[in-house]
Structure 1
Amino acid sequence: MPKDVVGTDDSGVLQSKRNATRYQILVQVAEHQPAVSQQEIADAIGITAQAVSDYLRDLIEQGYVNKQGRGRYEITKEGVDWLITQTDELRGFVQHVSEDVIGQVDIETALARTEISEGETVTLTMQDGVLRAVAGDIGGATAVAVTEADPEQDVGVTNFEGVLDYDLGTVTIVAVPTVQNGGSMAVDPDAIHPIEDEHDLVAVAGTEALATVHRASIDPDIRFGTEAAVEEAATKGQSVLLLASTDELSTHTDQLREGNIGYEVMDLREE
Structure 2
Amino acid sequence: MSGALEDKRTATRFRILAEIADRQPAVSQGEIAEAVGVTSQAVSEYIRDLVEDGLVEKQGRSRYRVTKEGVDWLFQEARALQRFAEHVTDDVLESVNEDAAIVTEDVAAGDTVTLSLREGLLHATPGDDGPAIGVVTTDAEAGGAASVTGFEGVIEMEAGSVRVLQVPPARLAESDAVDSDALAAACDDADIVVAAGVEAVVACRHAEVDVRTWFAPGNNGSNRVERQPSSGSSRT
> Do they fold alike, i.e. is TM over 0.5?
yes
Distance 1:41 1:216 in 2: 68
Partner residue of 1:252? Answer: none
* Aligned match of 1:62: 53
Aligned counterpart, 1:28: 19
Are 1:129 and 2:120 counterparts? Answer: yes
Partner of 1:80: 71
1:15 maps to a residue whose letter is: E
Among 149, 155, 162, the alignment partner of 2:140 is 149
Whether the 8 Å CA contact 1:129–1:237 is kept in 2: the answer is: yes
Structure 1 residues 213 and 76 mapped into 2: Cα distance closer, same or farther (>3 Å)?
Answer: same
Contact in 1 for aligned 2:194/2:211 (Cα 8 Å): yes
Q: Is the 8 A contact 2:116 2:132 kept in 1?
A: yes
Q: Partner residue of 1:248? A: none
Cα distance in structure 1, aligned partners of 2:51 and 2:186: 77
Q: Which runs of 5+ in 2 are unaligned?
A: 217-227
Q: How do residues 162-177 of structure 1 correspond to structure 2 at under 5 angstroms?
A: 162-171=153-162
Query: Which of 62, 79, 94 matches 1:103?
Result: 94
CA distance in 2, matches of 1:118, 1:190: 48
Secondary structure at the residue paired with 1:28? helix
Secondary structure in 1 matching 2:92: helix
The number of aligned residues is 221
User: Following the alignment from structure 2 to structure 1, what is the Cα–Cα distance between the partners of residues 45 and 198?
Assistant: 70
Q: TM-score, normalised by structure 1?
A: 0.64
CA-based RMSD of the aligned residues comes to: 3.7
Deviations 1:8-65 (A, max 9, x none): xxx8333343322211111111222333332322222122322222111111112222
In the alignment, is the contact (CA less than 8 A) between 2:180 and 2:206 conserved in 1?
no
Provide Cα deviations, 1:200-245, integer angstroms capped at 9, x if missing partner: 42124687754442124445234459xxxxxxx99x83233x25xx
Aligned partner (choices 193, 206, 211) of residue 202 of structure 1: 193
Q: Does 1:238 align with 2:232?
A: yes
Q: 1:44 aligns with which of 22, 31, 35?
A: 35
1:140–1:163 CA contact under 8 A, matched in 2? yes
Q: Compared with structure 1, are the counterparts of its residues 131 and 29 closer, same or farther at alpha carbon in structure 2 (3 Å cutoff)?
A: same
8 Å contact 1:176–1:208 — kept in the other structure?
A: yes
Gaps of 5+ in 1: 1-10, 226-232, 244-271
Say which of 87, 91, 100 aligns to 2:82: 91
Q: Is the 8 A contact 2:33 2:40 kept in 1?
A: yes
> How far apart, CA to CA, are the structure 2 residues paired with 1:85 and 1:106?
30
1:184 paired to 2:178: yes
Displacement of 1:191 in angstroms is: 5.9
Tell me the SS of whatever aligns to 1:102.
Answer: helix
Identity percentage of aligned residues: 42
| Aligned equivalent of 2:225 | none
CA distance in 1, matches of 2:19, 2:168: 60
Q: Is the 8 A contact 1:184 1:209 kept in 2?
A: no
The Cα offsets for residues 57-80 of structure 1, whole Å up to 9 and x where unpaired, read as 111112222334443333233322
CA distance 1:48–1:103, change in 2 (3 Å):
same
Give the Cα–Cα distance (whole angstroms) in 2 for the partners of residues 170 and 163 of structure 1: 20
Query: Does the 8 A contact of 2:184 with 2:208 survive in 1?
Result: no
TM-score, normalising length: structure 2: 0.72
Report the AA paired with residue 33 of structure 1: Q
What amino acid sits opposite 2:36 in the alignment?
A: I
